[in-house]
Amino acid sequence: MNIALLIQAAMRYSAPVLLAAVGALFCDCAGVTFIILEAQMLLGCFFAVIAGYYFQSWAAGVLCAVLASILLGWFFVWITMKMKAIELVVGFAINFLIDGLTIYLLRMVFHQTGSFVSPEIPAIPRITVPVLSQIPLIGNLFYQQTWIVYFAFLSVLIAAVLIYHTSFGLHILSSGANPEAAKAVGIHIGQTRIQCIMIASVLCGLAGSQLSIGFLSMFSEGMTVGKGFIALGALMFSNRKPALVLFITLLFGFAEAIGNQVQLSGTIASELVLMIPYLAVLACVFVKKPIPEQI
Amino acid sequence: MKRASSMILATMMAATLCAGCGNSNQGTAGTQATTTAAPESTAPKADDAESAPTETEGEKTKGDLKAAFITPQALGDGSVTDLSYSGFTKAAEEFGMETQVVEVQVGEYEETLRSMAQEGYGLLICLQPELVDAVCTVAPEYPDILFFSMNGEINDIPNVLGSANKEQEGSYLAGVAAALMSETGKIGAVIGQDMAQNNRYAAGYEDGAKAARPDIEVSILYAGTFEDPAKGKELALTLYNSGYDVVYQVAAKTGLGVFEAAKELGEGHYVVGCDVDQSPLLPGQVIGSQITPYDTWVYAAMKDYGEGKFTGGRTEAFSMNRTDGAGFDFDSTGKITYKDGVKEAVEDSKSKIMSGEIVPESVREKDK
């Protein structure tokens, strides 16, 4: 088992999921059921590739991905807050919508179906942190990842500080815990919730662009394969603690990475190995029951 | 404002209900996907178009020929579905058939087949083993409609022609090429699902590799999905970083991740393509591709239908003999420098397979 490769692979897998989970954390604390993580990530994936291809710049790709996710976030705000629709229902509908929309746009814009691969799609450059990557074991955490991956881990810290140590955080927590009391005190819960949704949108846009032009340099229909829902799962087990969100997401990341290496060693049947990530989820259930009202 | 928006939204929702009532698209012939080199190169030449027969018994007149193409995997995969479709459209143009393309979802297989049969389509081309159960259920209900199950083995239903691939043959040649080109003596493969059909690729690959180089180390990894390029890249990286320098991809979209991994790691990391010539995807790093001429299969079935010679009730085994030796193509970009003897070894194995001297393994050791 190559520990260095394991750590790097776990980080790569965890980063997009972590970004989405942190975004969902903000929303959950504010009392918003933010179920469109998957859709926003997929939209981010697609627009990162489109913009990157047309502007020949990964930065343009990331920017467009974030903008597209923000637009979708606004749509969600409009439908759930202005139109007073039920978040859960709308969320699932949007997930289907965006899946179909990206497929449709892929055919319209690129005249491709299935996937879009081209040497002209720019990839986000990899960075190795100079001094820290030399440290024996931990150094692998700082080796050859994109800035989005590093930011993903940083975002957990930022979320912890913002939510639990600032007045903005207090507004968020009270909007979620007791909206009536918050309104009585003069906190604008609508505005707070919108801000959280926007934060989550930006993070999901980054997650999507990491997936399509950070790790890979292509777009494939449905390429998020449920990572948005895995992020929600991580959130459910975390009891709104950023540290737990990080831990559980990393757990899933390591489960995937270990699974790959175990397959290589050939000791266990592949069907059992491919179950490892799901066993990790089950393990979480046994350790801590997910709290229903959190989603 | 709120009422107006609600009305607009409600109208839009109602309008989408009518979406299914229009004419389905006919699809475009061939594909512009960058993930495939011209599939036309493996289809029969255009000259055959002139020689459409005019007097065979039971041949339908031009107006009568209607064929439907039903697939559980969407067009545009740059591989199996697109290749089959090119054979379909080629025959359709040649015989002037009216066509219909349906991309089915799980759970709708039987309804779709029934509705195509009821709409008068004389030949239903049904792709992939997923549709086999539906074909077996629906075909006996419509004994006058012909069914072709591409990649599905169906015998004993008179109006159904099954087909079986001998992917282990092309994979054997892939294994020979990979083993001889490998510098490290370790080669791998990333396979979509651990199931019988996919494992034929793996079994043939291992067999060919060991025959060419007995001390070769072969490692087969399963992705568990055909839709996840990130997973494919992770698996390929795991292989490449552990000293395996040639990786055979048998995983559709997941397999595209293998090319990404090879691209990232650069020279010296090779890929073997699957089903179509994939060397243009990564010039200089694809030592060859296993070829399954699905277009030839579909074309053959359509041609038989057009000429009134369709005979069902059996499964046609499209071995290399039946498809003029199509099984493995070398790099077509010219960027690969083959080591001495590699091409000869592959050609030699090919003629031995076609003559029957070598019978490549179709079941992996672990499944025996």
**Contact between chains at B76 and A114 (C-beta distance less than 8 A):** yes
Contact status of A120 with chain B (Cβ, < 8 Å): no
Mean pLDDT value across residues B323-331: 87
Residues of A in contact with B228 (CB under 8 A): 223, 225
Task: Please indicate whether, in this complex, the C-beta atoms of B35 and A211 are within 8 angstroms of each other.
Answer: no
Q: What is the mean pLDDT of chain A?
A: 90
Q: Which residues contact B272 (CB under 8 A, 6 or more apart)?
A: B174, B177, B178, B246, B247, B248, B249, B286, B287, B288, B289, B290
Residues of A in contact with B237 (CB under 8 A): 5, 9
Asked if B230 and A218 come within 8 Å (Cβ–Cβ), the reply is: no
Mean pLDDT of A162-189: 92
What pLDDT is recorded for position A292? 58
Output the pLDDT for position B81. 87
pLDDT at B25: 39
Q: Looking at residue A196, what is its pLDDT?
A: 96
Cβ-based contacts of A112 with chain B (< 8 Å): 32-34, 76
Q: Is the pLDDT of residue A165 over 90?
A: yes
Give chain A positions within 8 Å (CB) of B238.
5, 9, 260-261, 263-264
- Burial label for A55, CB within 10 Å (0-12, 13-18, 19+), is middle
Q: Which letter, b or e, does each residue of B136-171 get, where b requires 16 or more Cβ atoms within 10 Å of its Cβ?
A: bebbeebeebbbbbbbbbbeebebbbbbbbbbbbbb
Q: Do A117 and B2 touch (CB under 8 A)?
A: no
Distance from CA of A47 to the nearest CA of B (A): 17
Residue A234 confidence (pLDDT) above 80? yes
Residue B172 has pLDDT above 90, yes or no: yes
* Residue B37 scores a pLDDT above 80: no
Residue A144: closest C-alpha in chain B: B264
Per-residue confidence (pLDDT) for residue A293, from 0 to 100: 53
- The answer for residues whose C-beta is within 8 angstroms of residue A128's C-beta and 6 or more apart is A142, A143, A144
User: What is B167-292+325-367's CATH number?
Assistant: 3.40.50.2300
Put residue B288 in one of left, alpha, beta given phi > 0 → left and psi -120 to 50 → alpha.
left
Q: Above 60 in pLDDT, residue B270?
A: yes
Q: How confident is the model at residue B227 (pLDDT cuts 50, 70, 90)?
A: confident
- Provide the token pair at A132: 């820290």
Kindly give, in sequence order, each residue whose CB lies less than 8 Å from that of residue A61, ignoring residues fewer than 6 positions away.
A47, A48, A49, A50, A51, A52, A53, A55, A122, A124, A209, A213
Q: Report the share of chain B in percent with pLDDT over 90.
A: 52
Test B74 with A83 for CB contact under 8 angstroms: no
Greater confidence (B345 vs B76) lies with B345
For B37-166+294-318, CATH number?
3.40.50.2300
Q: Which pLDDT belongs to residue B341?
A: 92
**A121 lies within 8 A of chain B by CB:** no
Q: What is the domain partition of chain B in residue ranges? A: 37-166+294-318, 167-292+325-367
Looking at per-residue confidence, does B313 or A277 come out higher?
B313
Kindly report the pTM of this predicted structure. Answer: 0.82
Residue of B nearest to A225 (CA): B228
CB contact under 8 A, B239 and A222: no
CB nearest to A264's CB, from B2, B9, B221: B221
Q: How far is B230 from chain A (nearest CA, A)?
A: 7
Residues B305-316 have pLDDT tens digits of 988 888 888 888
- ipTM of this predicted complex? 0.90
b/e map B23-42, b = 16+ CB within 10 Å = eeeebeebbebbbbbebeeb
How many CB contacts within 8 angstroms connect chain A with chain B?
107
How many angstroms away from the CA of B258 is the closest CA of chain A?
Answer: 10
Residue B27 has a pLDDT of 35
Residue A212 in contact with partner chain B when CB distance is under 8 A? no
Distance CA A199, CA A90 (A): 19
Identify the weakest region by mean pLDDT among A49-63, B45-59, B125-139: B45-59
Nearest Cα residue to A248 out of A258, A261, A233: A233
Chain B contacts of A126, Cβ < 8 Å?
A: none
Min Cα distance A262 → chain B (Å) is 10
- Using CB atoms, pick whichever of A83, A225, A264 lies closest to residue B219: A264
Q: Give the residue carrying structure tokens 């085994």.
A: B317
A226 touches B: beta carbon within 8 Å: no
Q: What is the model's pLDDT at position A272?
A: 85
Q: Which tens digit of pLDDT belongs to each residue from B234-267?
A: 999 999 999 999 999 999 889 999 999 999 999 9
What pLDDT, on the 0 to 100 scale, is given for residue B32? 32
Tokens encoding B280: 């243009």
Torsions phi, psi of A86, nearest 5?
-80, 125
In the predicted structure, residue A143 carries a pLDDT above the cut 70: yes
Q: Give the separation between CA B58 and CA A46, rounded to whole angstroms.
A: 51
Is the confidence at residue A93, as pLDDT, over 60? yes
> Are B221 and A260 in contact (CB < 8 Å)?
yes
Predicted pLDDT of residue B24: 41
Residue the block writes with tokens 């194995």: B349
Per CB-CB distance under 8 Å, the chain B contacts of A256 are 234
Tallying the residues shown for chain B, one arrives at 368
Flag the least confident range among A16-25, A220-229, A254-263, B45-54: B45-54
pLDDT at B160: 93
Return the residue of B nearest to A112 by Cα.
B33
The better pLDDT of the pair B2, B287 is held by B287
Q: Is the pLDDT of residue B41 over 60?
A: no
Q: Kindly state the tokens that stand for B295.
A: 């277009």
- Digit-coded pLDDT (tens) for A201-223: 999 999 999 999 999 999 999 89
Average pLDDT over residues A150-156: 95
User: Which pLDDT score, from 0 to 100, does residue A144 have?
Assistant: 87
Average pLDDT, chain B: 84
Q: Give the count of alpha carbons within 13 A of A206, CB side only.
A: 24
B299/B89 Cα distance (integer angstroms): 8
**A222 lies within 8 A of chain B by CB:** yes
Per-residue confidence band for A295, with pLDDT thresholds at 50, 70 and 90? very low
Nearest CA in chain B to A219: B229
Q: What is the pLDDT averaged over residues B313-340?
A: 87
Do the domains B37-166+294-318 and B167-292+325-367 sit in the same CATH topology, yes or no? yes
Residue B159 has pLDDT above 50, yes or no: yes
At what angle are helices A3-29 and A37-55 packed, to 10 degrees? 120
What percent of chain B stands above pLDDT 70?
87
